[in-house]
Amino acid sequence: MGHDRRTGKEFLPRPHLQRTMTMTSLAQGYRALVLGATGTLGGAFVRAFSADSRCAEVECLSRSSHPPIELTRPETLEHAASLMLASAPFDVVIDATGALTVAGQGPEKRLADLDPDRLQAAFAINAIGRGLVLRHFTPLLPRNQRCLFAVLSARVGSIEDNHLGGWYAYRAAKAAGNMLLQTAAIEVHRLRPLAVFAAMQPGTVHSPLSAPYTGNHAAIDADESVAGLLATLDRLQPDSRAHFVDHQGNAIPW
């Protein structure tokens, strides 16, 4: 959502024409499913698919959808997936869920700040929730044609790329979520050899949640980030393992 300073009202930005992305690697009339569709990036994915003439339909799930989904309530994920099964298969599934700020508290900077409740909450959303999304929504992919299952991750979830430390709960939960994705990709590939799995780093995106943490990083808007992510996804090839990539198409070490 955008915010008009003159009127004080929120608005849904229209997709910029130069950022319109066509998923040429998917069949004409492909169908998309976006989880976390009301978030900053989730909404940008919905706009991108809606603007793609090759996309026949985009289904949206969020805490405010019907049915609703809530990562910390597993029964909502199971129920939503069971209802979506009637509309399956979906050629592309985007999991745009996750949380940086948990219970109103941001990332820890020191070991002395570690709190078991905050650790549990971060894992419940960014790791356990991700695993349950994989469990319930990978069966909605087609079996014998190219399809995409992509999740929002973060560069700070890379163990090898950790040079600064800090952000303990978020880093650990994202790394755990990445492992769940990687393990699921190996299993699902046996029945769906043309499926592409990817953990995606969207870059530093302008959003209410990221605003306190952008610091000196150059931030981009959500539509620009998603255009880059979809262009990258469109180029990825099926593998027995998942990819870890950023919005510029660069591979990130796990």
What is the mean predicted confidence (pLDDT) over 59-85? 97
Rg (CA), the chain: 17
**Is the model's pLDDT at 19 over the cut of 90?**
no
Confidence of residue 150 (pLDDT cuts 50, 70, 90): very high
Pick from 23-32, 95-104, 159-168: least confident: 95-104
Model pLDDT, residue 105: 87
- pLDDT exceeds 60 at position 159: yes
- Residue 214: per-residue pLDDT: 67
In terms of pLDDT, which residue wins out, 11 or 127? 127
Average pLDDT, the chain: 91
Please give the pLDDT value at position 209: 64
Is residue 140 scored above 80 in pLDDT? yes
The answer, yes or no, to whether the previous bond of 139 is cis (omega within 30 of 0) is no
CATH number, domain of 153, equals 3.40.50.720
Q: Determine phi and psi for 8, rounding to 5 degrees.
A: 80, 5
Tokens representing 140? 């909605």
Within a domain: residue 18?
no
The whole domain housing 55 covers 34-246
pLDDT band at 104 (very low <50, low <70, confident <90, very high): confident
pLDDT band for position 81 (cuts 50, 70, 90) = very high
Mean local confidence (pLDDT), 93-111: 92
**Averaged pLDDT for residues 44-66:** 98
How much of the chain exceeds pLDDT 70, in percent? 89
pLDDT of residue 34: 98
C-beta of residue 170 within 8 angstroms of C-beta of residue 126: yes
Cβ atoms 35, 42 nearer than 8 A = yes
How far apart CA 185 and CA 36 sit, in angstroms, is: 21
Residue 8 in any domain: the answer is no
How far, in Å, CA of 83 to CA of 87, rounded? 8
Average pLDDT over residues 37-63: 98
Predicted pLDDT of residue 18: 44
For residue 25, pLDDT beyond 50: yes
* Candidate from 18-27, 85-94, 113-122, 223-232 with smallest mean pLDDT: 18-27
Domain contains 254: no
Q: How far is CA 4 from CA 7, 12, 44, 205, 221, in A?
A: 6, 10, 18, 19, 16
How many structural domains comprise the chain? 1
DSSP structural state of residue 69? -
Total-model pTM: 0.89
Judged against a pLDDT cut of 60, whether residue 137 lies above it is answered with: yes
User: Which one-letter DSSP state was computed for residue 35?
Assistant: E
Q: Is 138 within the bounds of a domain? A: yes
Which tokens sit at 117? 């409740």
Confirm whether 12 is domain-assigned: no
In angstroms, the CA 66 to CA 38 distance is 13
Burial class (CB in 10 A: 0-12, 13-18, 19+), 212: exposed
Close Cβ partners of 13 (under 8 Å, ≥ 6 residues apart): 2, 47, 223
- Please state whether beta strands 10-11 and 2-3 pair in parallel, antiparallel, or not at all (unpaired): antiparallel
* Sign of the alpha-carbon torsion through 211, 217, 219, 224: negative
Per DSSP, the three-state class of 151 is strand
**Does a structural domain hold residue 114?**
yes
22 falls within a domain: no
Residue 125 forms part of a structural domain? yes
pLDDT in tens, 199-221: 999 999 987 666 666 666 678 99
